[in-house]
Amino acid sequence: MNKEIDEIDKKLVNLLLFDADITNRELALKCKIALGTVNNRINRLKKEGVIKKKTVVVDYEKLGYVIEVLIALKIKKGGFYEIAKKLSGDQNVFLVMDITGDYDAELLCRFHNKRQLDEFVKKLQQDQLVEYTRTRLILNIYREKEIK
């Protein structure tokens, strides 16, 4: 059975969310707990699957991806897994989500220019498994929400 997540666990997770490189010593100072306690809690959170891995936040614009979009897909019945597998291999598709509602899937895509986006959407709309799409331009991403 998992130990209850308390306020210190939440603070540790939030600090790691915003800086995966923070040291356990810095975590101990910010949480006002012993270094050994931080080590034990981090290990427990990993073991329980709360912390799956540490990662980096990439500035995709600096890598030349100046256009970010969300593309909702209405997919023919039974076609989600086939189209998801196909799209997961595309260099411009960064996330494929299985969703509920008026659409069946949502893509997070990044492109270097409008031409790439245009070609991608037109190709997507020609796929036999895709009934229709809705594309929305992402203007800004402020931050990932911390846990409460």
The overall average pLDDT reported for the chain is 93
Asked whether residue 95 carries a pLDDT value surpassing 90, the answer given is yes
Asked if residue 41 and residue 17 are part of one domain, the reply reads yes
User: What is the model's pLDDT at position 18?
Assistant: 85
Both 71 and 117 in one domain: the answer is: yes
Task: Summarize pLDDT for 65-74 with one digit per residue, the tens.
Answer: 999 999 999 9
pLDDT in tens, 17-28: 888 999 999 999
CA distance 63 to 112: 9
Do 107 and 74 share a domain, yes or no?
yes
**Do 42 and 106 lie in a common domain?**
no
What's the number of domains the chain is made of? 2
94 lies in the same domain as 26: no
Q: Are residues 65 and 34 in the same domain?
A: no
Is 1 contained in some domain? Answer: no
- How far apart (Å, rounded) are the C-alpha atoms in residues 31 and 14? 11
Name 96's bridge partners.
107
Q: pLDDT for 119-143, tens place per residue?
A: 999 999 999 999 999 999 999 877 6
Same domain, 67 and 33: no
Same domain, yes or no: 26 and 67: no
Q: The domain that contains 42 carries what CATH number? A: 1.10.10
* In a domain? residue 52: no
Q: Quote the pLDDT of residue 144.
A: 61
User: Is 103 a domain residue?
Assistant: yes
Phi then psi for residue 5, to 5 deg, are -80, 120
Range of the domain at 33: 7-47
pTM for the model: 0.78
pLDDT-derived band at 1, boundaries 50, 70, 90: very low
CATH code for position 64: 3.30.70.920
